[in-house]
Structure 1
Amino acid sequence: MSNAGLARRVNDLGAASGLTLRYDKTSVARWVGKGMTPQGPVPHLIAAVLAERLGRPVPLEEIGLDESGPSDPDLGLSFPRDLAEAVVKATDLWRHDHVNRREFLTGTFAVTAFATPLARWLITPADALAEHRGSDRKVGQTDVAKLREAAAEARRWDSKYGGGDWRASMVPECLRVEATPLLRGTYHDSVGRQLFGATAELSRLAGWMAFDTGQHEIAQRYYIQALRLARAAADVPLGGYVLATMSLQATYRGHPHTAVDLAQAAVERNRGVATAKVTGFLHLVEARAHARAGDPGACARSLNAAEGHLERARPGDDDPEWIDFFSYDRLCADGAECYRDLRLPEQTRRFTATALAGRSEAYARSHGLRLAVGAQADLAAGDIDAACGAGMRALTVAQRVHSARNTAYVRDLVSGLQAAHAREPAVREFTEQVRTSIGITA
């Protein structure tokens, strides 16, 4: 990685955490050549960039910088075998996140942290017993129903407003204030399974919202705890769904081979267990990983499997509520991203056209992402006017939703347009609109 590349990535990670940084290659030269130490959270951002490239955690002392992270840097990354310990670890994460989320933002995302949770879930995807005798509070179906209602409402907020909307903060708060006392209460096995399932889905949602805002260090911790709670619930499809979100994060962060492993584990463990609709989505996530890895054959097989299972899904199937979003237009949207990664613009345009015909208001963020993907395909096909037109519509969505992913997709489009067509009037106009409306340039 060049000095300029390191500086750009540090600036990008800082922006995702709400920081305005303007480092350049000269700054990096000062750090390396003159031993100057950047201030504030910047050393941790540097370590995060290096961890991305190496695929493992990079302690600050390894790169000659002082350590000043959270008191327990591994908080939320463990996957205890013992259920009682698992509850302690999960609730500790929720409490600490409330006290000082900024400490987690100075940590690093490392794809290797998924290895132990994946292995332990594959070996034992369901705990033997979920009953607990704790405080005087007796947990019942009504308590669980409230958590499930909170999760359903949060899914709607997230899809419509993005993971950075103010409502998103209510999910970690629900886990800390509502779920924690319930987990410490008294419940028999049946209610315990449902309680763990509801808290697993809330933890997965908290992770997904953090992922959508670029807070990958936090997202990873919530995902790992969600997987452990899904095991306590003996809910193998939910565990597979959590693995799928882990896989999407690994794909997005540039670790497609690990993403393939995570998705395939979800598929294999759910054979004969999950509904057709759930299985179809797991195959779709696997296709995304294969595409990013540059394997068109494996991608096509997974896409075909996803479509086949979705076609076999029926309204009367016992589908969980969390899979309601998966429809044919979502299949086409992810298929378009697969073909984008495989650099097949015509297929990308065709799939995007179908995806954009689907629901838009309730799934505003997804609609914006689809517009940006379609614009990238238009650019690859040489249709600059179409690319700028779709880009303008994607920009309109990015202004309404609070999503780092939507912003990143628009930014990537601007970069591509400026690289080859910077002098085109439509490109100049679009770039200026992006600069003035969401404050980014290529």
Structure 2
Amino acid sequence: MAARPLVARQPNERLQALIQEAGCSNAGLARRVNMCGAEHGLDLRYDKTSVARWLRGQQPRGRAPAIIAEALGRKLGRTVTIDEIGMANGKNLASGVGLQFSPTVLGAIEQVCELWRSDVGRRDFLSGSSVAASALVEPSRDWLISAPDGQVARSAGPRVGQSDVAAVRSMTQALVDLDHQYGSGHVRPVVVHYLNSVVSGLLAGSYREAVGRDLFAAVARLTELAGYMAVDTGQPGLAQRYYIQALRLAQAAGDRGYGGYVLAASMSHLAAQLGNPREIAQLARAAQEGARGRVTPRAESMFHAAEARGHALMGDVHAAQTAAGRAMSAM
């Protein structure tokens, strides 16, 4: 049997640059990674030799890349993604970035920041991604059954206050106004760069519980806006990823009403554009169940109207009329 040719690993220059930026020694980074892993219930025993191997191009297994990124992020005072440390598998990044409803707040921050960074750096790749109907419905189920996030407060990084939250809200309104005036094609790149360069740093900062909840709510709205603009510019696969992350951010904010809006308005509208009426009804029903008692009569009516639309497109007249009747009664 012929021996397989050896493939030379490429030095990880991204990781090297971040270690230098953080002012860490190899041994210091290893200690930080081990401590961070312990907080996640992992018994990691890396040392300076391990870091040297990573710098030579070795890829650690399992959850280690995410832990390394988190450890460096804490030292730098900002979110660092696994792509930024040169440990994102290209195939997995292509198929999965932004499509997961993370079970943890920390994972949600990592996921959405990775999406923003990938959007800025890989615009052609992401804009050409397709939409899977199951990837619309599965996050809605995760949202529906997930317990509330117990805590979102953070103690590491630059201090974030209500003035920062107000700035995000004001920027969102200004960007909405610009979109109405000039169209998404002109404005969407500005939205994505703002999310990637400014908002990611806020999420990685330190904030009290109330500020954190308000911050996640504000960022959820801006992320949903970026998704809407992706639809408007003919990028449904990218919009899907932004909507999923907006849903997760709304969960971190404790805002079930806005989560329902993302499902019944944003995601169901995308499903309608793609010709998936069954998913329209499923998303609308998830919104109704998950936001029950947490929304205004107008929002509740909109959720039922979205369900009616799905049934109508499937040709189910009776179900459409029933849902439409509930929409009228809710007003």
| Aligned mates of 1:126, 1:159 — CA distance in 2 | 35
Within the alignment, does 1:239 sit opposite 2:259 as a pair?
yes
Within the alignment, does 1:227 sit opposite 2:247 as a pair?
yes
Unaligned stretches of 5+ residues in structure 1: 1-67, 311-442
Could you tell me which of 213, 230, 233 is aligned with 2:233? Answer: 213
| Aligned mates of 2:283, 2:180 — CA distance in 1 | 24
Could you tell me which of 236, 251, 273 is aligned with 2:294? Answer: 273
Spell out the pairing of 1:23-102 with structure 2 (5 A cutoff): 71-102=93-124
| Aligned mates of 1:76, 1:292 — CA distance in 2 | 29
Within the alignment, does 1:106 sit opposite 2:123 as a pair?
no
| Structure 2 partner of 1:192 | 212
Spell out the pairing of 1:141-180 with structure 2 (5 A cutoff): 141-159=162-180, 161-164=182-185, 166-180=186-200
Could you tell me which of 196, 200, 203 is aligned with 1:183? Answer: 203
The code of the aligned residue for 2:285 comes to Q
Q: Is the Cα–Cα contact under 8 Å of residues 248 and 289 in structure 1 kept in the other structure?
A: no
**Structure with larger RCO (C-alpha < 8 A, sep 6+):** 2
| Structure 1 partner of 2:223 | 203
Shift of 1:126: 2.9
Residues 121 and 163 (structure 1 numbering): CA distance in 2 closer, same or farther, change over 3 Å?
A: same
TM-score with structure 2 length normalisation?
0.68
Within the alignment, does 1:121 sit opposite 2:146 as a pair?
no
Across the two proteins, how many residue pairs are aligned to each other? 241
Shift of 1:69: 6.8
| Structure 2 partner of 1:439 | none
| Structure 2 partner of 1:392 | none
The code of the aligned residue for 1:284 comes to A
The code of the aligned residue for 2:195 comes to L
The code of the aligned residue for 2:236 comes to H
Residues 304 and 153 (structure 1 numbering): CA distance in 2 closer, same or farther, change over 3 Å?
A: farther
Shift of 1:240: 0.5
| Structure 1 partner of 2:324 | 303
| Aligned mates of 1:289, 1:173 — CA distance in 2 | 35
Residues 131-162 of structure 1, C-alpha deviations (whole Å, 9 max, x = no match) = 11221x11111100111112223333444544
TM-score with structure 1 length normalisation?
0.52
Residues 118 and 163 (structure 1 numbering): CA distance in 2 closer, same or farther, change over 3 Å?
A: same
Q: Is the Cα–Cα contact under 8 Å of residues 268 and 280 in structure 2 kept in the other structure?
A: yes
The code of the aligned residue for 2:275 comes to G
Shift of 1:281: 1.8
Q: Is the Cα–Cα contact under 8 Å of residues 137 and 283 in structure 2 kept in the other structure?
A: no
Q: Is the Cα–Cα contact under 8 Å of residues 157 and 168 in structure 1 kept in the other structure?
A: no
Deviates more, 1:280-289 or 1:189-198: 280-289
| Aligned mates of 1:163, 1:308 — CA distance in 2 | 36
| Aligned mates of 1:258, 1:201 — CA distance in 2 | 22
| Aligned mates of 2:250, 2:228 — CA distance in 1 | 16
| Aligned mates of 1:236, 1:160 — CA distance in 2 | 31
| Aligned mates of 1:69, 1:95 — CA distance in 2 | 16
Secondary structure of 1:186 counterpart: coil
Shift of 1:214: 1.7
Within the alignment, does 1:261 sit opposite 2:300 as a pair?
no
Within the alignment, does 1:288 sit opposite 2:309 as a pair?
yes
Residues 215-234 of structure 1, C-alpha deviations (whole Å, 9 max, x = no match) = 01100110111111111001
| Aligned mates of 2:137, 2:322 — CA distance in 1 | 25
Residues 229-283 of structure 1, C-alpha deviations (whole Å, 9 max, x = no match) = 1110010001101112111111220111111111111012222111112212222
Residues 274 and 203 (structure 1 numbering): CA distance in 2 closer, same or farther, change over 3 Å?
A: same
Q: Is the Cα–Cα contact under 8 Å of residues 281 and 306 in structure 1 kept in the other structure?
A: yes
Could you tell me which of 155, 158, 164 is aligned with 1:133? Answer: 155
Residues 286 and 163 (structure 1 numbering): CA distance in 2 closer, same or farther, change over 3 Å?
A: farther
Unaligned stretches of 5+ residues in structure 2: 1-89
Spell out the pairing of 1:309-388 with structure 2 (5 A cutoff): 309-310=330-331
Residues 109 and 298 (structure 1 numbering): CA distance in 2 closer, same or farther, change over 3 Å?
A: same
Deviates more, 1:153-162 or 1:99-108: 153-162
The code of the aligned residue for 2:218 comes to A
Residues 164-198 of structure 1, C-alpha deviations (whole Å, 9 max, x = no match) = 3x023222122112210000000011110010011
The code of the aligned residue for 2:316 comes to D
Flag as ranges the 4+ runs of structure 1 deviating above 6 A.
none
| Aligned mates of 1:153, 1:125 — CA distance in 2 | 34
| Aligned mates of 1:154, 1:280 — CA distance in 2 | 28
The code of the aligned residue for 1:173 comes to H
Secondary structure of 1:126 counterpart: coil
| Aligned mates of 1:257, 1:304 — CA distance in 2 | 19
Secondary structure of 2:136 counterpart: helix
Residues 77-113 of structure 1, C-alpha deviations (whole Å, 9 max, x = no match) = 1111011111011101101101121111232211111
| Aligned mates of 1:97, 1:80 — CA distance in 2 | 19
| Aligned mates of 2:180, 2:232 — CA distance in 1 | 11
| Aligned mates of 1:237, 1:120 — CA distance in 2 | 16
Shift of 1:71: 4.6
| Aligned mates of 2:118, 2:105 — CA distance in 1 | 20
The code of the aligned residue for 2:248 comes to R
Identity %: 39
| Aligned mates of 2:91, 2:275 — CA distance in 1 | 24
